[in-house]
Amino acid sequence: MKSMIRWEPFREMVSLREAMDKLFEDSFVRPWRLWPTITGGGLPLDMYQTANEVVVKAALPGVKPEDVDISITGDTLTIKAEHKEEQEAKEEDYFYKECHYGACSRSVTIPVQVKADKAEAVFENGILTLTLPKAEEIRPKQIKVKAKQLAEGKK
């Protein structure tokens, strides 16, 4: 036996209206949610691990390497950067001004123990790549398995 479900068109219209309100609010009222670095929220990061290290990549377009500060305190990694504006034209001469300037930072917890004093940072084409060697205690250890030979005559 199949049951019938009553169709309520107004319920669907309300959800459509809510969706339109959210779209309008995200696009025009609070467009900066798309730019986390402007609101001081943070930098976009990728963090992954290999067998021997943790690798962190941060997108820092327009930032100079000397304007980047990296620190590790305990298990917290902090990256701070500042994109300085070169003033070439007056504000009223712009047709568009979408490039963002100012300071931004991001702090994340490193999920495994690392050797902070052996870290390496490379900045290339607007991408900061930070390589953190894992501590010896947490690196995977390879244990070889030996086959035990049966004595001759025993089966």
Q: Do residues 78 and 133 share a domain?
A: yes
Q: Do residues 73 and 134 share a domain?
A: yes
Residue of 36, 37, 43 lying closest to 70 (CA atoms): 43
Confidence of residue 13 (pLDDT cuts 50, 70, 90): low
User: Is pLDDT at 30 greater than 60 in this prediction?
Assistant: no
Q: Do residues 31 and 61 share a domain?
A: no
Is residue 144 included in any domain, yes or no? no
| 102's tokens | 């100012």
Structurally, the chain folds into a number of domains equal to 2
Q: Do residues 74 and 24 share a domain?
A: no
Q: Do residues 104 and 58 share a domain?
A: yes
Q: Do residues 111 and 133 share a domain?
A: yes
Is residue 27 included in any domain, yes or no? yes
Mean pLDDT calculated for residue range 17-29: 70
Is residue 20 included in any domain, yes or no? yes
What local confidence, expressed as pLDDT, does residue 10 receive?
65
Containing domain of residue 64, as a range?
40-86+99-138
What local confidence, expressed as pLDDT, does residue 42 receive?
60
- Read off the CATH number of the domain in which 115 is found: 2.60.40.790
Q: Do residues 65 and 108 share a domain?
A: yes
DSSP state of 25: I
Residue with the two structure tokens 């990061």: 45
pLDDT in tens, 57-94: 999 888 889 999 999 998 999 999 988 777 776 777 77
pLDDT in tens, 132-155: 999 887 767 777 888 888 766 555
Cβ 133 vs Cβ 119: under 8 Å? yes
Q: Do residues 81 and 13 share a domain?
A: no
Q: Do residues 28 and 50 share a domain?
A: no
Q: Do residues 14 and 50 share a domain?
A: no
* Integer CA distances (angstroms), 71 to 106, 113, 137, in order: 11, 15, 22
Is residue 125 included in any domain, yes or no? yes
| 63's tokens | 């930032």
Is residue 154 included in any domain, yes or no? no
Q: Do residues 57 and 75 share a domain?
A: yes
Residue count (the chain):
155
